[in-house]
Amino acid sequence: MSDKLPVPLMRARVERDWIDYNGHMNDAWYAHVFSRAVDCVMAAIGLDQDGRARTSLTIYTLTMTIHYTREVHANDQLSVSGRILEHDDKRVRLWLEMMRGDGEVAALSEQILLCVDQSGEKPRGAPFSIDQIARIAAFHRADADLPTPKRAGRGISLSGRE
């Protein structure tokens, strides 16, 4: 196992039906692409389909923020990379960057993911398995010396203050 998340987590080509009335990718499709990238993170930490079936664990998204930085158009090539900013035994704070084929950052997403045990009558927050925590910790350590992204942790306001 590598200590880093796969680079890129995923690639996609923008489909024509992802384009909105303004001529660029609809905001819902940015969320879709980031969601597929989270699926790749899940697989990397051992929560692919087999891992979910074996452990009854999965991930629920608690918070998702998207920063749109560049327009994306039909047929553009996209790639998404990511890193783990923080984690504990039940949660992961994930940072994702969507790049266009020309190397420009198209969007950024910060997410907090919760490990959920689905084995009982009702899903409930639960710790990741020991091997999943080990993978999460390794991915976090691999990028821990990088500065926190400038937009990470920012709330929403109209003031424009940094």
pLDDT tens, position by position, 97-140 = 999 999 999 999 999 999 999 999 999 999 999 999 999 999 99
CATH code at position 135:
3.10.129.10
> Has residue 16 been placed in a domain?
yes
- Quick one: pLDDT at residue 136? 97
Confidence of residue 162 (pLDDT cuts 50, 70, 90): low
> Has residue 65 been placed in a domain?
yes
Q: Which domain holds residue 105?
A: 10-143
Cα dihedral angle (87, 93, 94, 95), rounded to 10 degrees?
-120
If you ran DSSP here, which 8-state letter would residue 129 be given? Answer: P
The encoded tokens of residue 138 equal: 């390794």
Q: Can you say whether the dihedral through the CA atoms of 115, 119, 120, 121 is positive or negative? A: positive
> Has residue 69 been placed in a domain?
yes
pTM: 0.92
> Has residue 24 been placed in a domain?
yes
> Has residue 2 been placed in a domain?
no
> Has residue 157 been placed in a domain?
no
> Has residue 155 been placed in a domain?
no
Domain count, the chain: 1
> Has residue 154 been placed in a domain?
no
Q: Tell me what percent of the chain is helix, strand and coil, each rounded to the nearest 5.
A: 25, 35, 40
Strand partners, 83: 95
